[in-house]
Amino acid sequence: MLQKGDKKLTHGWAFYDWANSVYSLVISTAVFPIYYETVTQTESGLVNFLGLQFNNTSLYTYALSFSFLIVAFISPVLSGIADYVGNKKSYMKFFCYFGSLSVMSLYFFEGVDTLWIGIVFSVFASIGFWGSLVFYNAYLPEIAYSDQQDQVSALGFIYGYIGSVLLLIFNLTMVMKPEWYGISDPGLAPRISFLTVGLWWMGFAQFTFRRLPYNVHNKKPHKDYIFRGFKELQKVLKELKDQPVLLNFLTSFFLYSVGVQSIILLATIYGKSEIGLSTSSLILTIIVIQLVGIAGAYLFSTLSKFIGNITTLKITIIIWALASLSAYYLDKDDPDVQIKFYIISGFIGLVLGAIQTLSRSTYSKLLPEDTMDPTTYFSFFDVTEKVAIVWGTFIFGLAVSITDSMRLSILLLCIFFVLSFVVLSFMKKTKYVR
């Protein structure tokens, strides 16, 4: 078994980002939202689902909210199983396969007549993706020492950016030039891209599964482990009362996650519906964001060594707030709106990976040094993020259904960034985090 801190082990762990980030880019951010918005367009803007009528965009945001609500609920169960049975990797595999197979099932979503397939399997894919991350994130303190975790965490996001961009570029050529691949039906190309995402995710994950340890602490199965997850979550919640620094960070993390994750999930729909950008322009913009994100992850990871994690996080939050506020003022009738959208996207790309990798590594550093159950703490971390996404996507969808516009939603998300900055400003420095 590879030892903690070994480069083969840390690179093997980070490579799961290469495998699964194609889901977050192609399905959550780029191709699927645009495809969904295109094939569900109706004259009234309404679609039927479960006997009810919804604005098509609102229905998608509600589906996302529902999927994250499920993940938030099952995360304690998953962490309890992993902690008290000792087979964290087995459950990581299950959710990886569940998610990748669900993504491939989106191939059968062709329009409003098969809307249920698009909604149901996008929910399943989201559960698979985020469920596997509960276990993936919990491995970080077990495979890397405290002084390695910033770099290892950043390495994961960098692997993810590179791998997902490579597949997205391939999918982009297929969507824009289907004739190159002998595809006569333009609507078939995006659906084939969903198949490639599932195969990529499942296939490259095998590299990580071969290198990750099975049971680091040699735990033996416990009884009632399903409910132990909730008990342990309650225990963490009680312990937070005696850990004001960690509580302060989690509060800020919740607030800025409402904005960050909602923008990641819904930016392309905003660009298509509110700004009127073409599919090719949106996907090219996303590729640029990913490439800038690689530089941003390196830049802010290095910057944190000199000015500390908290100050660096505050800088990223300021940039997120300004970018979302700028997006609110974009006008589709402005002749320069596309250039302005690109500039805003560039700034988002700069801090996209940075805020995620710093959040993960900062939280890991703030965990009690004597804890033997990092999975439970990371489960709490994941639940916090998922509840934030539920709030963000639900608020976004509700504002769209009321105003029939996404602009108010963007402004509301900006407020969450401001609040998170204020909360983080009261956080005290620690031995490992400053």
Q: What single-letter amino acid sits at 146?
A: S
Cα–Cα dist 196/329, whole Å: 37
pLDDT in tens, 97-137: 999 999 999 999 998 889 999 999 999 999 999 889 878 87
Cα–Cα dist 13/153, whole Å: 9
3-state secondary structure 272-286: HHHHCCCHHHHHHHH
Res 84: pLDDT: 65
∠ at Cα 185 (180, 191), nearest 5°?
90
**Distance, first Cα to last Cα, the chain:** 34
Res 216: pLDDT: 60
* Domains of the chain by start residue, with CATH: 7-213+221-424 (1.20.1250.20)
Cα–Cα dist 162/369, whole Å: 33
Centroid of chain to Cα 197: 16
Half-sphere exposure of 158 (CA within 13 A, CB side): 16
Element spanning 22, H or E: helix 7-22
∠ at Cα 379 (254, 20), nearest 5°?
90
Nearest to 58 by CA among 393, 282, 327: 393
8-state DSSP, 144? S
Cα–Cα dist 248/262, whole Å: 22
Nearest to 59 by CA among 394, 322, 305, 364: 394
Q: What single-letter amino acid sits at 204?
A: F
Tell me the backbone φ, ψ of residue 55, rounded to 5 degrees. -65, 135
Res 315: pLDDT: 92
Res 321: pLDDT: 93
Neighbouring CB atoms inside 10 A of 425's CB total 11
Q: Which residues of the chain have pLDDT under 70?
A: 1, 79-86, 215-227, 229, 369-375, 429-434
Nearest to 406 by CA among 353, 349, 332, 319: 332
Res 217: pLDDT: 54
Res 240: pLDDT: 80
Phi-psi map region of 220: left, alpha, beta (phi>0 left; psi -120 to 50 alpha): beta
Cα–Cα dist 149/382, whole Å: 18
Q: Determine the 3-state secondary structure of 372 from DSSP.
A: coil
8-state DSSP, 114? G
Res 94: pLDDT: 93
∠ at Cα 358 (352, 360), nearest 5°?
105
